[in-house]
Structure 1
C-alpha cells in the first residue's frame, strides 16, 4: 500500500513539474512574440546615390563624406571622358541620438553651402507594435554664394529649402525600396524660370549581391519644372564596403549634390550620354 501511494505521489510530482515547464516555455514564447525587432541596414549608408536614404548613424557617430562628380563622359577623349573637370562636395554629419541626425557641407557647384536635419519617425520592425516600413523626415537649406553681376541678391533671396518624407521597406535580405515625396522652394527665381515651388517624387532601390557589394538605382520625377531646360535626375550606382569606409561609384546626369540642385536644376540628358561619373566616400568616427 505504501509503495502504491509513493508511486502515485512521484507520478503526480513529475506531471506537475512537466506542466510547470510547459507553462514557462509558453510564457517565454509569448514574450518573444511580443518583443519588437527592428529591421537593420535597409541601406548601407545615409545616401542612396545623390539623395538621402532613410538611414541615420548611431548616437555619437560622426560621418565625413566626400562626394565627387567629374564632367560628362560625352566630352570624349579630349576631355578624358569628363575626368578633366570635376565638382566636389565635402560634408560633416553627426548623430545627436539614434533618431536625430544633422549635417552641413560645401559644394564647388555654385559655391553652395548647405545644411540639413534628419529625423527617423518610424523604423520597420516585427513583433509587438510592428511597422511594415521605415519613415524619415528630411529638411535641408542651401545658400548659393556664386557671384552674379546681373543679380546682386540679398542673403534671403539666395536661399532654397527642400523638405522630404522618405519611406522605405526592406523586402528581404537582398532588396530594399524607397519612395521620397519632395517639395523644393526658392525664395527668388530668375526671369526665365517658371516656378518657385517644385514638387517631385523620388524612387529608388538597392539590390545586394554580397556582404560588401550592392547595386543602387535612383530617379526623381518633377511634377513642375524650374524652367524649360531642366530634366529629371537619374542615377545608377554601386556600393562597396571596405571596413570603416563605404565607397559608392555612380553614373548620373545630375551635377549638383544637394537636394535642391539635383532634383530641380539637372539639365543633362542621361540617354544622350550627358552622364557624370562620380563617387561618394564615407568615413565614420565614434566621437561620443
Structure 2
C-alpha cells in the first residue's frame, strides 16, 4: 500500500510544482502591479499654453524649434489689413538636457529682446505606488532689451535686464481637461517712471480642453496683483487652438498681448479687448532628436 501511495506522489509531483510556480507567478504579478508608478502624460500638448509656459518639458536629447508670430491689432482696420500688414516674431530653441530639465534661448523682434531660461519639472502627477495629484515645475528666465539707448538718461547694461520666476502647478483632471496655476514674479531693473513698480507679482491660469486626438482649445489669463503697475496696464488674456500634425504642433490664438517674452505679456500688456485691441498670432513647434536615449545611456 505504501508503495502505491509513493508511486502516486511521484506522478503528482510535477503537477504540484507547476501549480506552485503558477501561483508564485500570479503573486509576483500582483505585487509588481502594486509597485508600478503610472505617470500622467500630455497634460498640455506643447511647452507653452499660449504665451506662458506649461508644465511640459522637451524630452532629453531633443531640440525644439519654436516660431512665435503676432500680427498687428485687428482694429487697425482695412488700411492695415486688420493687422496682417504688421508682425512681431520670435525664434526660440529649447533643448532637453534630461526629460525634466530644459534650457532655452530666444530672440524677439519686439524690443529687440534676447531671452534665456531654465525649466525644471520636479513633481509628476501619478497614480499607483506613488500617488501624486499634481505636476509641478520651476521656470526662471532672463531677458535683455536690445534697443538702442535714447540718451535721455544714463543707462547701464544691467538697466536692460529683467528676470522672471514662475512656479507651474498643473493637474490633468481627465483625458480631456487640464488646468494650471502659475504664480509669477517679474523684476525689471529699469522702469519708465518712478511711479512704475520694479517688482510685479501676478497669478496666471491656463486651461486645455481636448476636442479630439489632434485638436484642443486653450485659454490663458495673467492677473497682476494690485499696485501701480496694474493701474497702468492690462491683464493678459488669450484664447486659441492647438493642432498636432506629426512632428509639429500649431498653436493658433488671439490675445491682447503683443510681446512674447514674460516681461512684456505679464507686466506690459496694453491691449484693451473692449476697444478691439486684439492680436492674432500663432506658434509653430518642431522637434528634432539630437541624442537618442539608448545612445545617451551608452
Q: TM-score category by the smaller chain?
A: over 0.9
Q: What is the CA deviation profile of residues 163-187 of structure 1, one whole-angstrom value per residue up to 9, with x for unaligned ones?
A: 0010111112111111100100111
Partner of 1:275: 278
After the TM superposition, list the runs of 4 or more consecutive aligned residues in structure 1 that deviate by more than 6 angstroms.
none
Q: Report the alpha carbon displacement of residue 144 of structure 1 after superposing the two structures with TM.
A: 0.9
Partner of 1:35: 36
Is the Cα contact below 8 Å between 1:254 and 1:276 reproduced in 2? Answer: yes
Q: Report the alpha carbon displacement of residue 220 of structure 1 after superposing the two structures with TM.
A: 0.6
Q: Report the alpha carbon displacement of residue 154 of structure 1 after superposing the two structures with TM.
A: 1.0
- With normalisation by structure 1, the TM-score equals 0.93
Q: Report the alpha carbon displacement of residue 37 of structure 1 after superposing the two structures with TM.
A: 2.0
Q: What is the CA deviation profile of residues 61-98 of structure 1, one whole-angstrom value per residue up to 9, with x for unaligned ones?
A: 11111100011111122221111111111111111111
Aligned Cα root-mean-square deviation (Å): 1.8
Equivalent residue pairs, number: 288
Is the Cα contact below 8 Å between 2:65 and 2:94 reproduced in 1? Answer: yes
The answer to whether residue 294 in structure 2 is matched with residue 285 in structure 1 is no
Q: Report the alpha carbon displacement of residue 196 of structure 1 after superposing the two structures with TM.
A: 1.1
The answer to whether residue 294 in structure 2 is matched with residue 261 in structure 1 is no
The answer to whether residue 115 in structure 2 is matched with residue 114 in structure 1 is yes
Match of 1:32, SS state, is helix
- Structure 2: tracts of 5 or more residues without a match: 292-298
Matches within 5 A, 1:200-211: 200-211=202-213
- Structure 1: tracts of 5 or more residues without a match: none
Could you tell me how far apart the structure 1 residues matched to 2:63 and 2:178 are? Answer: 25
Is the Cα contact below 8 Å between 2:58 and 2:94 reproduced in 1? Answer: no
The answer to whether residue 255 in structure 2 is matched with residue 252 in structure 1 is yes
Partner of 1:80: 81
Partner of 1:123: 124
The answer to whether residue 90 in structure 2 is matched with residue 89 in structure 1 is yes
- With normalisation by structure 2, the TM-score equals 0.90
Could you tell me how far apart the structure 1 residues matched to 2:43 and 2:86 are? Answer: 34
Partner of 2:22: 21
Partner of 2:238: 235
Match of 1:57, SS state, is coil
Partner of 1:53: 54
Q: Report the alpha carbon displacement of residue 222 of structure 1 after superposing the two structures with TM.
A: 0.5
Matches within 5 A, 1:205-224: 205-224=207-226
Q: Report the alpha carbon displacement of residue 128 of structure 1 after superposing the two structures with TM.
A: 1.8
